[in-house]
Each structure stands twice: as structure tokens, then as C-alpha cells.
Amino acid sequence: MDEAIEKKILEESSNDFSILSLFFQADIVVKIVIILLIFSSIWSWAIIFSKYTLLKNILVDTEDFEENFYGSETLSKLSKKLGSQPTHPIESVFFSAMVYFEKVKSGFSNKNFDFKKAFCENVKKEMLIVINKELSTLEKGLNFLASVGSTAPFIGLFGTVWGIMNSFTAIGISQNTSLAVVAPGIAEALFATALGLVAAIPSVLFFNKFNNMLENISNKLEVFSEEIILIISKEIFR
């Protein structure tokens, strides 16, 4: 009986060690780990491509808007030129200030200093709300990248441990310590480890990259909001 089991194990281990073979030879636990890691990697790359394109375009659009903003004669002319629907975050911040400003600017000549000061503070708060809203929208998907980057190596390690356990089980059943007996389990273990790293490394790298891009966008929006407040203050206090 023992010889028959050993012969079966050796026959199974003689199969090729391609990726598909490693997957189909693995037990259900290792298969679940592999599927989970592959799904995480694919979804991470989908987020990476879409998020990088989005943030890159926003940075380009922001620079173009800044050129138009500083080259425009008045805020009203720039507002009419842009239309009524913002297409990126810095336009949203600009429109939030202009909508508020246009509502009450006609009566500024009759208002006292305290009212004008309170108005500027309200405009600033309005823009801050819009900035936080825009940044929150842009941050969507980054939590998934962070989760994959921190958990994928450990999920892969779990598959590694499970594969090694299977190898020792095969040794115990066959009473044979040859490499042919333990090779399939070790190969499965290393495959799970590799998938964990393949999923984790890009997620960590691009998570940090996107955080830097978002910080750059945030700084530009804050500086722009201060510039808007300065221009509005000059206009209502003159």
C-alpha cells in the first residue's frame, strides 16, 4: 500500500511546473489564496491606470487654468469665459467663490467693514469645503491600494505556509524525503509568495506616488483660494 501511495505521489510530481499546473495541482486553500491575490493585483492595476491618468490630467488642467486666471483682466470675465460647469477641482473652487461673490457684490458699497470682513471669511470657508470635497473624491480607491500593499504579502505567506504543510504531509505519508515528493508543495508555496509580492509592490509604490500628486494638487488649491480671497478683498474694500 505504501509503495502504491509513493508511486502515485512521484507520478503526480513528475508533471510540469507551469503556472497552470501549479494552480490545478494545489489544494482548495492554496487555490483560494491564488485567486484572491490575482484578483487583488488586477483590481489594483485598474485603479493605478485610471487614477494616474486622472491626477495627471488634473495637474495639467490646473496649470492651464492658472495661466488663464493670472492673464485675465477681471474675475467676472474669466467666469463668463469658463462657462457654468466646472470640469476639474480648481475650477470648482473658483466657481464656489464666484457664485457667492456675484450674489451680494452689488450692495457692497452700502455695507460696513465688519460685513465685508465676514463675507471674505465665508467665501474662504466655502472654498475650503469644496477643496475638501474634491480631494475626498480624488482619494477614492487609494484605501484599496493601501490594503493590498499591506496585506498581500501576508496572504501570500499564508499560502506559503500551507504549501509547506502539504509537503511535510506528503513526506509523512510516503516516508520518502526525496525532492520529488516535496517539490509540488514547495512550488505552490513559492508561487503564492510571488503572487503576494506582485500584488503588493506596485500597490505600495503607486499609493505613495498618488499621495504625492494629491498633496501637490492640494497645495495648488490652497494657494489659489488664498489668491482669490486677496483679489476679492481688494475689490470690496477699495
- pLDDT, one tens digit per residue, over 158-179 is 888 887 777 777 666 666 666 6
Q: For residue 21, count other CB atoms closer than 10 A to its CB.
A: 13
pLDDT classification of 77: cutoffs 50, 70, 90: confident
134: amino acid identity, one letter: E
Q: For residue 10, count other CB atoms closer than 10 A to its CB.
A: 14
Cα dist from 37 to 49, 51, 149, 155, 226, whole Å: 18, 21, 11, 8, 45
DSSP per-residue codes, 25-81: HS-HHHHHHHHHHHHHHHHHHHHHHHHHHHHHHHHHHHHHHHHHHHH-S-HHHHHHH
Q: Report pLDDT for 99.
A: 76
Q: Report pLDDT for 183.
A: 66
The residue range of the domain holding 133 is 2-237
Give the C-alpha separation, 213 to 71, whole Å. 25
Among 64, 137, 136, 117, CA closest to 94: 64
State in Å, rounded, how far the first CA of the chain is from the last one.
100
Residue whose entry in the numeric block shows the C-alpha cell 488634473: 58
Query: pLDDT > 70: what percent of the chain?
Result: 74
Give the C-alpha separation, 122 to 61, whole Å. 27
Report pTM: 0.78
Q: What is the mean pLDDT of residues 130-136?
A: 92
Number of domains in the chain: 1
Q: Which range (25-39, 55-69, 182-196) has the least confidence?
A: 182-196
Q: Which three cell numbers stand for residue 84?
A: 457654468
pLDDT classification of 66: cutoffs 50, 70, 90: confident
Q: Report pLDDT for 72.
A: 73
